[in-house]
């Protein structure tokens, strides 16, 4: 178990939550801005998956070269367009339900190149 001194400052009454890597306030974190964007071919791939979800279906969007805040914002727009829930994990947008056609249309309207992926 690490001692409290080894982990560094986690919360400050001055600025709120602190980033454990750069020790700056989370709102002004410099380390998340320095992370490189994932390398992709510029094509958003939309697929449907049920594996590991207890039979529930999710629509996944991969291959977008966006930073974390932009990906979260796009995920929110897609979830709103589909009228369902979802999340953004590890550079993949997941929308609950089978909404491949609607997600592809929404992405194409926003100017992304989109391809269906999987069966």
CB atoms inside a 10 Å sphere around CB 15: 13
The C-alpha atoms of residue 45 and residue 21 are separated, in whole angstroms, by 32
Residue 119: band (very low, low, confident or very high) from pLDDT cuts 50, 70, 90:
low
Which residue, 63, 44, 38, 56, is CA-closest to 103?
44
pTM of the full structure: 0.68
Block residue for tokens 């070269």 = 65
Count of the separate structural domains present in the chain? 2
| Shared domain check, 75 and 26 | no
User: How high is the pLDDT of residue 10?
Assistant: 60
User: How high is the pLDDT of residue 56?
Assistant: 92
| Shared domain check, 51 and 16 | no
Residues 93 and 75 sit within 8 Å (Cβ to Cβ) = yes
- Residue-wise pLDDT for 79-103, tens only, equals 999 999 999 988 899 999 999 999 9
The DSSP result for 77-100, as a single string, is: HHHHHHTS-EEEETTEEEEES--H
Task: Determine what percent of the chain is predicted with pLDDT higher than 90.
Answer: 46
| Shared domain check, 53 and 17 | no
CATH number of the domain that residue 100 is part of: 3.30.780.10
- Residue-wise pLDDT for 14-57, tens only, equals 777 777 777 777 777 777 655 565 667 779 999 999 888 888 99
User: How high is the pLDDT of residue 29?
Assistant: 75
User: How high is the pLDDT of residue 45?
Assistant: 94
Residues of the domain holding 8: 4-34
Residues 33 and 69 sit within 8 Å (Cβ to Cβ) = no
């Amino acid at each position: 178990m690490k001692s409290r001194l080894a982990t560094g400052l986690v919360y400050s009454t001055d600025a709120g939550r602190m980033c454990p890597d750069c020790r700056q306030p989370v709102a002004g974190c410099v380390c998340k801005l320095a992370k490189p964007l994932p390398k992709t071919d510029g094509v958003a791939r939309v697929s449907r998956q049920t594996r590991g979800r207890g039979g529930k279906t999710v629509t996944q969007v991969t291959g977008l070269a966006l930073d974390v805040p932009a990906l979260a914002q796009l995920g929110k727009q897609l979830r709103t367009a589909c009228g369902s829930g979802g999340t953004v994990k590890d550079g993949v947008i997941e929308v609950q339900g089978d909404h491949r056609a609607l997600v592809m249309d929404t992405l194409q309207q926003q100017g992304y190149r989109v391809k269906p992926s999987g069966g």
